[in-house]
């Protein structure tokens, strides 16, 4: 394997021997993990020479690792005619991230990389893996603003948050926080000033907002989308405590500009990375100008801005 984006660094291993993680080429672990778990599930693979390049910004919280995992599985599926579903490829990518990269992530990033549909968002039930394509409202553009504050989930912060959520579910007597309601949380014995309470409050309320926002997108209700996105960001900032001042500043700038005509929030696992905004297309230039005029002057960091359209998930060309 050769990584074009890491100065053509190479990695190699034998397909018919035990595959383990490597200490010095972290990008290779995502691929090694996928091939390991494909083998473990009984899929028959052969050798391959693979070159990798991508345009998902690295370390920006935009799921470049999930994209690499899923496309590795997709390549193996195509090369060796594997009878494996896209959902299975997503799960295999998740297993690679857990056991070869050390980040106990959820399944959302891998599922959108594997099962995304053009011009649609994806409403995902992370327990059943049932999906529903949700159309992006007409006349709305997706803007990604990379704060350029480096983002990493493998340093333990994400895993610590996950442990707090699991403890909250245990205290509530629920299999997971998705099974709890805000009423049950408020009536529980969990200290309302504790981190465990705040983490649970974010997750439970975010689940409610996700469903409400999907309905609003289907209805083309930008005002409701705006409300959900601003509330989501506030919850990530105050209850989950995963935003940083630079991200909060971007959200403040765009919320002042957009009002209830669009929405903006942090996206990804937090601690840096990007914001995502849904913006009426006629306001895209104004939004770009606002960020370019103020962000670097305020933070000393030069942002990157991308205007995106949803595309289909991993496939062979």
On whether both 156 and 75 belong to a single domain, the answer is no
- Work out the pLDDT band at 153, boundaries 50, 70, 90: low
Phi–psi pair at 266, nearest 5 degrees: -65, 150
**Domain range for 174:** 131-308
Task: Write the pLDDT tens digit of every residue in 238-283.
Answer: 999 999 999 999 999 999 999 999 999 999 888 899 999 999 999 9
Q: Tell me, yes or no, whether 40 lies in a domain.
A: yes
CATH number, residue 184: 3.30.70.890
Q: Tell me, yes or no, whether 125 lies in a domain.
A: no
Q: Tell me, yes or no, whether 111 lies in a domain.
A: yes
On whether both 146 and 35 belong to a single domain, the answer is no
On whether both 288 and 139 belong to a single domain, the answer is yes
49, 109, 155, 195: which is the annotated catalytic residue?
109
Task: Write the pLDDT tens digit of every residue in 94-152.
Answer: 999 999 998 888 899 999 999 999 999 999 999 999 999 999 999 999 999 999 998 76
How high is the pLDDT of residue 152?
A: 63
The residue-averaged pLDDT of 55-84 equals 93
CATH number, residue 88: 3.30.230.10
On whether both 164 and 273 belong to a single domain, the answer is yes
Structure-token pair, residue 86 = 């896209």
On whether both 147 and 278 belong to a single domain, the answer is yes
Q: Tell me, yes or no, whether 120 lies in a domain.
A: no
Q: Tell me, yes or no, whether 231 lies in a domain.
A: yes
On whether both 181 and 283 belong to a single domain, the answer is yes
Q: Tell me, yes or no, whether 126 lies in a domain.
A: no
Judge whether 119 counts as a catalytic residue.
no
On whether both 16 and 159 belong to a single domain, the answer is no
On whether both 173 and 87 belong to a single domain, the answer is no
Q: How many domains does the chain have?
A: 2
Q: Tell me, yes or no, whether 123 lies in a domain.
A: no
Q: Which long-range contacts (CB under 8 A, 24 or more apart) does 223-228 make?
A: 223/260, 223/261, 225/137, 225/262, 225/263, 225/278, 226/258, 226/259, 226/260, 226/261, 226/262, 226/263, 227/260, 227/263, 228/263
On whether both 294 and 152 belong to a single domain, the answer is yes
How high is the pLDDT of residue 61?
A: 78
On whether both 108 and 141 belong to a single domain, the answer is no
Query: Which residue, of 63, 86, 115, is where some domain finishes?
Result: 115
Query: Which residue, of 90, 115, 140, is where some domain finishes?
Result: 115
On whether both 145 and 57 belong to a single domain, the answer is no
Q: Tell me, yes or no, whether 47 lies in a domain.
A: yes
Task: Write the pLDDT tens digit of every residue in 183-207.
Answer: 999 999 999 999 999 999 999 999 9
């Amino acid at each position: 394997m050769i990584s074009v984006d890491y100065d053509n660094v190479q990695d190699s291993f034998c397909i018919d021997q035990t595959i383990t993680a490597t200490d010095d080429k972290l990008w290779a672990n995502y691929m090694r993990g996928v091939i390991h778990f494909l083998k473990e599930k009984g899929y028959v693979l052969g050798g391959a020479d693979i070159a990798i390049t991508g345009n998902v910004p690295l370390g920006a919280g935009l799921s470049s690792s999930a994209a690499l995992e899923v496309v590795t599985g997709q390549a193996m599926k195509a090369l060796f005619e594997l009878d494996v579903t896209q959902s299975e490829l997503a799960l295999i990518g998740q297993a690679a991230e857990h056991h070869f990269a050390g980040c106990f992530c959820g399944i959302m990033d891998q599922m959108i990389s594997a099962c995304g549909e053009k011009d649609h968002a994806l409403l995902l039930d992370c327990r059943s893996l049932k999906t529903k394509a949700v159309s992006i409202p007409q006349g709305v553009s997706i803007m990604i603003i990379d704060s350029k504050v480096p983002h990493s989930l493998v340093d333990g912060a994400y895993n610590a948050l996950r442990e707090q959520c699991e403890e909250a579910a245990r205290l509530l007597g629920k299999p997971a926080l998705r099974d709890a309601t805000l009423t049950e949380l408020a009536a529980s014995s969990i200290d309302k000033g504790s981190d465990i309470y705040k983490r649970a409050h974010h997750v439970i309320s975010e689940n409610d907002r996700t469903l409400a926002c999907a309905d609003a997108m289907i209805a083309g209700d930008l005002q409701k989308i705006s409300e959900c996105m601003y509330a989501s960001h506030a919850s990530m900032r105050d209850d989950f405590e995963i935003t940083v001042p630079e991200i909060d500043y971007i959200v403040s700038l765009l919320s002042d500009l957009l009002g209830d005509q669009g929405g903006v929030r942090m996206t990804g696992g937090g601690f840096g990375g990007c914001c995502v905004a849904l913006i009426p297309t006629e306001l895209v230039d104004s939004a770009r100008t606002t960020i370019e005029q103020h962000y670097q002057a305020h933070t000393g960091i030069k942002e990157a801005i991308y205007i995106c359209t949803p595309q289909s998930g991993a496939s062979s060309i």
